[in-house]
């Protein structure tokens, strides 16, 4: 039944007719609930329950090149409204130039690849089902709907070739009916047989042929004649540009077993015989055109091996790439190469001194910032990539985020409560593993949701980091950092194993991350391992997760953070390697005056973090991590320089907090698989004493000036970080603030009437103040509160007289402050910048301190090497020499 303007289908109001499809009419409509224009396809038949169920599976596809299915009605589908001509409209006027055709083909292939990973097959790919928007973006329509309507008895109708239905009516869903469009069907589909994803690959080849030639590959006067041609005639590729013939021959094999099996590999089959050598570039610019040629040459060589037999061995290629102009790098900046070896991502600051994620294509000179990535910590680990290289993943502002390379706004995947993540891996099944700093691995869907623990800290463990999925998408490698050097190494984990049942048998003892790669020419896999400044490759079987043979050096002078677990290198799936020299020395504790000038510094034999100045200003407590990864509490006398080791257990002790009388230090320690609260005499005498034990990880942050209360934050599986208070008399803790957001880093005001804290929620971390009295035992989060700052808001600290509040903005590299007052209510003055000298290359994480006079500030600073940062080095075909 035809619909008219103003008619309603549920909440959808018809605006105007658009087209006639194989299943019925198509209308421009308005979703009145959200005022969004959509396309509605109607059917003369009601949909079956199975149709609706399977259509909703298709609606879960989320990809920039796939038209979204929003809703399924009783006899209509609601889809994304895509403006622009179809590819059929484009090819009607003739062939599309080769370069433009390849850009369109790349987007079509990306859409197919994303759907195939979800188990969805299109089954009716054709130019009429592909739209090209004004900006060149491709949208594949009716994705998977042909598969929803299973075949039934009867014969194919004799209809026009270009108008063959995307969907048959429900009356045609009996076994034997040929679905799809005859001119684009694979031979097995034309025979009415069961099909798999290679049927889409056949159709992809036919579509690419049509783009390159402006003609249909198979045609006849009727559907029957066309199907006969598909089944019998060999494809004539004489009109196709030579560079694409090998690709089309592989896509158009009539036997699906001999056809290209993975659409994501399509570009490997393009020949490069028509490519002109790139012109030399100025030294100050990145040499991307030449790099693109090198990568293409490597891919072509691999393609010959995969589809034509053994080819001459490709030569190893190394080239250096200076940093892009106009951006500031910190000493530990690492460019992460995408899994498909086509993109780089890195953290840098622009002229506004704000850190962002930048990306650059290997076939372009343009460097692009990713919108929404502002706020990433300058010294954070490098960005990570999605499996299909379409998204960059990173930690910022207490969240795990993803940004599409097309430049769309950033999307939040999960609330993590931490500023950085120390490793991310995205599986082909769209599961994400990420590592919380000094904690464990968690999993979450790439489309978002609540994180689920995957590992737990075993006795002696400090942290689990740098996960990487193995090919099956269930098992993964990860680094387990332990206080015992014989337990710090790479382990094999599994999503199918309970967190507390993961294997405790190391695959390899090392304190660095590893990456496994596979040669496209031989199919052999290798594990890349860093030893000091040497990067090595050792034969590795990812199916059995076993090493063999010996490790062979492949690069020297590879940089890293001192005492860290990440080297300044990354590798694509095919082994394309990107690294840089240099890095940083150990983080150095420094004291600064109120202008940011350095007053003093000292060095230690390991990495220093969590600085905390004693109330009398004479001693500094801190966490020291040694070369084995063990963490202990130390105390330094600032006048004499003498140091005292406070804790000695091989497990983790961290986050020291002074008692107001300078005699004791509270800290967090891992003793029974989780962080509990302990205290010890500040002079090192006596034994440590347990303050609080529970089933949640806890970290102390402040001791009230009257000595009665210890403030700490506790990690709840449902609400994440919450603020708690431990009365030191009676030891019965109570909640100070527990909401669905995350509250941490609490600090008592000197008079004990107020608590300042960091709130991690959407956007930038914020600093708040709430009143406190000993009977403040409400867990609801209700009550008076004052927003001190929405600029940064990390780790607030009170001045000794309680009249000033300081905090950090890590993303801007600034120390900020406000003057505050309190009578009956809390009063906040204007925000002022103290100094910004701890920006890029400056402050390492952990806590900081200010003295009573407010004229001396203690931070941990990463030393900045002199001179320009070293360039990146790109290495291709390094596996060749290992396979001769």
| CATH code of the domain covering residue 55 | 1.10.510.10
Is 277 domain-assigned? no
Is 577 domain-assigned? yes
**Distances from the Cα of 517 to the Cα of 264, 295, 340, 474, 520, angstroms:** 17, 16, 12, 17, 9
What is the rounded CA–CA span in Å between residue 342 and residue 322?
Answer: 18
Residues with a known catalytic role: 124
Q: Which of 205, 236, 269 is the last residue of a domain?
A: 269
- Say which range, 197-201, 304-308, 636-640, has the weakest mean pLDDT: 304-308
Is 363 domain-assigned? yes
What is the rounded CA–CA span in Å between residue 208 and residue 228?
Answer: 21
Q: What are 65-91's pLDDT values in tens digits?
A: 998 888 888 888 888 898 888 999 899
What pLDDT, on a 0 to 100 scale, did the predictor assign at position 76? Answer: 85
Is 757 domain-assigned? yes
Residues 512, 368, single domain; the answer is yes
User: What stretch of H or E contains 55?
Assistant: helix 49-59
What is the rounded CA–CA span in Å between residue 87 and residue 66?
Answer: 14
Backbone φ, ψ for residue 268 (5° rounding): -65, -20
Range of the domain at 702: 588-861
* 785 Ramachandran zone, left/alpha/beta (phi>0; psi -120 to 50): beta
DSSP-derived 3-state class of residue 267: helix
Residues 593, 581, single domain; the answer is no
Tell me which of 421 and 526 has the higher pLDDT. 526
Tell me which of 583 and 414 has the higher pLDDT. 414
DSSP-derived 3-state class of residue 244: helix
Residue 277: which pLDDT band, with cuts at 50, 70 and 90?
very low
Is 602 domain-assigned? yes
What is the rounded CA–CA span in Å between residue 253 and residue 251?
Answer: 6
Q: What is the DSSP letter of 122?
A: -
Residues 181, 254, single domain; the answer is yes
Query: Does residue 296 have a pLDDT over 60?
Result: no
What is the rounded CA–CA span in Å between residue 444 and residue 431?
Answer: 6
What pLDDT, on a 0 to 100 scale, did the predictor assign at position 331? Answer: 61
What pLDDT, on a 0 to 100 scale, did the predictor assign at position 149? Answer: 38
Sign of the torsion angle spanned by Cα atoms 524, 525, 530, 535: positive
Backbone φ, ψ for residue 231 (5° rounding): -75, -30
Q: What are 446-501's pLDDT values in tens digits?
A: 988 889 999 988 776 778 999 999 999 999 999 998 766 678 899 999 999 999 89
- Say which range, 135-144, 682-691, 724-733, has the weakest mean pLDDT: 135-144
Residues 232, 349, single domain; the answer is no
Residue 622: which pLDDT band, with cuts at 50, 70 and 90?
very high
Contact 105, 132 (CB under 8 A): no
What pLDDT, on a 0 to 100 scale, did the predictor assign at position 765? Answer: 77
DSSP-derived 3-state class of residue 291: helix
What is the rounded CA–CA span in Å between residue 64 and residue 446?
Answer: 14
What pLDDT, on a 0 to 100 scale, did the predictor assign at position 198? Answer: 94
With a CB cutoff of 8 Å and minimum separation 6, the contacts of 480 are 458, 461, 464, 487, 488, 489, 490, 491, 506
What pLDDT, on a 0 to 100 scale, did the predictor assign at position 282? Answer: 36
Is 103 domain-assigned? yes
What is the rounded CA–CA span in Å between residue 209 and residue 256?
Answer: 18
DSSP-derived 3-state class of residue 150: coil
- Which whole number is the average pLDDT over 562-574? 76
Residues 418, 528, single domain; the answer is yes
With a CB cutoff of 8 Å and minimum separation 6, the contacts of 609 are 587, 622, 623, 625, 654, 844, 845, 846, 847, 860
Query: Does residue 222 have a pLDDT over 80?
Result: no
Of these ranges, 329-338, 496-505, 866-875, the one predicted with the greatest mean pLDDT is: 496-505
What pLDDT, on a 0 to 100 scale, did the predictor assign at position 288? Answer: 44
Q: Max CA-CA distance within the chain?
A: 97
Is 275 domain-assigned? no
Which tokens in the block code for residue 471?
């090919």
Which tokens in the block code for residue 735?
């909640």
Is 281 domain-assigned? no
What is the rounded CA–CA span in Å between residue 248 and residue 773?
Answer: 75
What is the rounded CA–CA span in Å between residue 98 and residue 88?
Answer: 17
Contact 842, 813 (CB under 8 A): yes
Backbone φ, ψ for residue 291 (5° rounding): -65, -40
Tell me which of 545 and 872 has the higher pLDDT. 545
Residues 132, 262, single domain; the answer is yes
Residues 341, 409, single domain; the answer is yes
What is the rounded CA–CA span in Å between residue 200 and residue 179?
Answer: 13
Overall size of the chain counted in residues:
884
What is the rounded CA–CA span in Å between residue 668 and residue 703?
Answer: 14
Query: Does residue 665 have a pLDDT over 60?
Result: yes
With a CB cutoff of 8 Å and minimum separation 6, the contacts of 280 are none
- Which whole number is the average pLDDT over 218-240? 84
What is the rounded CA–CA span in Å between residue 269 and residue 246?
Answer: 6
Contact 415, 434 (CB under 8 A): no
What pLDDT, on a 0 to 100 scale, did the predictor assign at position 778? Answer: 46
Residues 527, 615, single domain; the answer is no
Q: Select from 671, 681, 759, 752 the least CA-distant residue to 713.
A: 759
Contact 122, 130 (CB under 8 A): no
- Say which range, 214-223, 561-570, 655-664, has the weakest mean pLDDT: 561-570
What is the rounded CA–CA span in Å between residue 382 and residue 560?
Answer: 12
Place of tokens 């329950």: 49
**Cβ atoms within 10 Å, residue 122:** 29
- Say which range, 246-250, 660-664, 673-677, 820-824, has the weakest mean pLDDT: 820-824
With a CB cutoff of 8 Å and minimum separation 6, the contacts of 352 are none
- Say which range, 98-102, 263-267, 275-279, 691-695, has the weakest mean pLDDT: 275-279
**pTM for the full model?**
0.54
Quick one: three-class SS letters along 341-406? CCEEEEEEECCCCCEEEEEEECCCCCEEECCCCCCCCCCCCCCEECCCCCEEEEEECCEEEEEECC
Residues 779, 854, single domain; the answer is yes
Q: What are 789-843's pLDDT values in tens digits?
A: 877 778 899 999 889 999 888 766 788 899 988 766 788 888 888 887 554 334 4
How many domains, in total, are found in the chain? 3
Contact 343, 337 (CB under 8 A): yes
Residues 562, 616, single domain; the answer is no
- Say which range, 90-94, 306-310, 606-610, has the weakest mean pLDDT: 306-310
What is the rounded CA–CA span in Å between residue 212 and residue 229?
Answer: 20
- Which whole number is the average pLDDT over 867-884? 81
Residue 517: which pLDDT band, with cuts at 50, 70 and 90?
very high
Number of H helices, E strands in the chain: 9, 60
What is the rounded CA–CA span in Å between residue 401 and residue 775?
Answer: 39
Place of tokens 């690849």: 113
Query: Does residue 160 have a pLDDT over 60?
Result: no
Query: Does residue 180 have a pLDDT over 60?
Result: no
Tell me which of 190 and 747 has the higher pLDDT. 747
What is the rounded CA–CA span in Å between residue 387 and residue 595?
Answer: 46
Query: Does residue 173 have a pLDDT over 60?
Result: no
- Say which range, 39-53, 330-344, 681-695, has the weakest mean pLDDT: 39-53
Q: What are 372-411's pLDDT values in tens digits?
A: 888 787 667 789 999 999 999 998 877 889 999 988 888 9
Q: What is the DSSP letter of 170?
A: G
- Which whole number is the average pLDDT over 564-587? 79
Kindly report the CATH number assigned to the domain that includes residue 823.
2.120.10.30
What pLDDT, on a 0 to 100 scale, did the predictor assign at position 49? Answer: 66
Percent share of the chain, pLDDT over 90: 37
Mean pLDDT of the chain: 81
Residues 615, 546, single domain; the answer is no
Residues 470, 539, single domain; the answer is yes
Percent share of the chain, pLDDT over 70: 81
What pLDDT, on a 0 to 100 scale, did the predictor assign at position 763? Answer: 55
């Amino acid at each position: 039944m035809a619909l008219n303007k103003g008619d309603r289908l549920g909440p959808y109001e018809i605006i105007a007719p658009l087209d006639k499809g194989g299943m019925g009419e198509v209308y421009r409509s308005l979703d009145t609930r959200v005022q969004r224009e959509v396309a509605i396809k109607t059917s003369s038949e009601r949909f079956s329950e199975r149709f609706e169920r399977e259509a909703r599976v298709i609606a879960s596809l989320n990809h920039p090149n796939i038209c979204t299915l929003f809703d399924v009605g009783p006899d209509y589908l609601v889809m994304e409204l895509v403006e622009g001509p179809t590819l059929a409209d484009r090819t009607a006027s003739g062939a599309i130039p080769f370069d433009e055709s390849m850009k369109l083909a790349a987007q079509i292939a990306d859409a197919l690849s994303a759907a195939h990973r979800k188990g969805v097959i299109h089954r009716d790919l054709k130019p009429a089902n592909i739209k090209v928007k004004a900006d060149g973006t491709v949208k594949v329509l009716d994705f998977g709907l042909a598969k929803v309507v299973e075949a039934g008895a009867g014969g194919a109708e004799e209809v026009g070739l270009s108008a063959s239905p995307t969907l048959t009516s429900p009356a045609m869903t009996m076994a034997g009916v040929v679905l799809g469009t005859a001119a684009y069907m694979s031979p097995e589909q034309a025979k009415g047989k069961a099909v798999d994803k290679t049927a889409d690959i056949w159709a992809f080849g036919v579509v690419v042929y049509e783009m390159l030639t402006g003609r249909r590959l198979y045609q006849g006067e009727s559907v029957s004649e066309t199907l006969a041609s598909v089944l019998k005639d060999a494809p004539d590729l004489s009109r196709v540009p030579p560079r694409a013939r090998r690709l089309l021959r592989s896509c158009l094999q009539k036997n699906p077993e001999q056809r290209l099996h993975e659409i994501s590999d399509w570009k490997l089959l393009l020949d490069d015989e028509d490519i002109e050598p790139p012109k030399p570039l100025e030294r100050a610019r990145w040499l991307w055109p030449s790099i693109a040629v090198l990568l293409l040459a490597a891919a072509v060589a691999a393609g010959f091996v995969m589809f034509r037999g053994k080819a001459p061995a490709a030569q190893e290629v190394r080239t250096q790439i200076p940093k892009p102009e106009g951006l500031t790098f910190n000493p530990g900046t690492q460019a992460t190469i995408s899994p498909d070896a086509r993109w780089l991502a890195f953290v840098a600051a622009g002229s506004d001194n704000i850190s962002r994620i930048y990306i650059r294509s290997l076939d372009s000179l343009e460097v692009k910032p990713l919108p929404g990535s502002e706020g990433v910590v300058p010294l954070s680990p490098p960005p990570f990539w999605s499996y299909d290289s379409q998204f960059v993943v990173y930690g910022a502002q207490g969240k795990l985020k993803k940004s599409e390379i097309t430049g769309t706004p950033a999307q939040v995947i999960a609330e993590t409560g931490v500023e950085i993540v120390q490793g991310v891996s995205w599986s082909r099944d769209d599961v994400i593993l990420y590592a919380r700093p000094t904690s464990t691995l968690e999993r979450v869907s790439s489309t978002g949701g609540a994180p689920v623990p995957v590992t737990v800290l075993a006795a002696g463990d400090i942290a689990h980091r740098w996960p990487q999925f193995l090919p099956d998408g269930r098992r993964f490698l990860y680094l387990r950092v332990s206080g015992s050097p014989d337990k710090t190494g790479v382990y094999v984990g599994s999503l199918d194993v309970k967190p507390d049942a993961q294997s405790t048998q190391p695959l390899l003892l090392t304190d660095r991350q590893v990456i496994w790669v596979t040669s496209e020419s031989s199919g052999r896999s290798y594990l890349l391992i860093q030893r000091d400044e040497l990067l090595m490759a050792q034969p590795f079987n990812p199916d059995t997760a076993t090493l063999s043979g010996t490790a062979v050096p492949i690069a020297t002078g590879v940089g890293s953070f001192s005492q860290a677990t990440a080297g300044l290198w990354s590798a694509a799936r095919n082994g394309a390697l990107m690294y840089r020299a240099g890095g940083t020395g150990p983080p150095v504790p420094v004291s600064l005056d109120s202008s940011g000038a350095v007053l003093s510094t000292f060095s230690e034999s390991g990495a220093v973090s969590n600085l905390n100045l004693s109330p009398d200003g004479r001693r500094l407590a801190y966490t020291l991590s040694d070369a084995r990864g063990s963490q202990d509490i130390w105390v330094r006398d600032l006048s004499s320089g003498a140091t005292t080791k406070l804790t000695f257990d091989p497990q983790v002790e961290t986050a020291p907090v002074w008692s107001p009388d300078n005699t004791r230090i509270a800290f967090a320690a891992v003793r029974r698989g989780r962080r509990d609260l302990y205290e010890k005499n500040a002079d090192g005498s006596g034994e440590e004493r347990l303050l609080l034990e529970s089933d949640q990880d806890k970290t102390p942050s402040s001791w009230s000036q009257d000595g009665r209360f210890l403030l700490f934050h506790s990690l709840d599986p449902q609400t994440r970080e919450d603020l708690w208070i431990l009365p030191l008399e009676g030891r019965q803790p109570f909640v100070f603030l527990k909401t669905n957001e995350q509250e941490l880093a609490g600090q008592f005001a000197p008079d004990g009437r107020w608590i300042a804290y960091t709130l991690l929620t959407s956007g930038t971390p914020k600093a708040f103040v709430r009143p406190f009295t000993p009977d403040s035992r409400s867990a609801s989060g209700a009550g008076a509160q004052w927003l001190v700052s929405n600029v940064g808001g990390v780790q607030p600290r009170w001045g000794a007289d309680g009249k000033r509040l300081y905090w950090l903005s890590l993303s801007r590299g600034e120390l900020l402050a406000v003057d505050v007052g309190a009578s009956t209510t809390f009063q906040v003055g204007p925000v002022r910048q103290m100094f910004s000298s701890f920006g890029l290359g400056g402050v390492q994480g952990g806590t900081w301190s200010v003295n009573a006079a407010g004229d001396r500030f203690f931070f941990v600073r990463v030393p900045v090497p002199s001179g320009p940062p070293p360039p990146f080095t790109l290495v291709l075909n390094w596996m060749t020499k290992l396979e001769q």
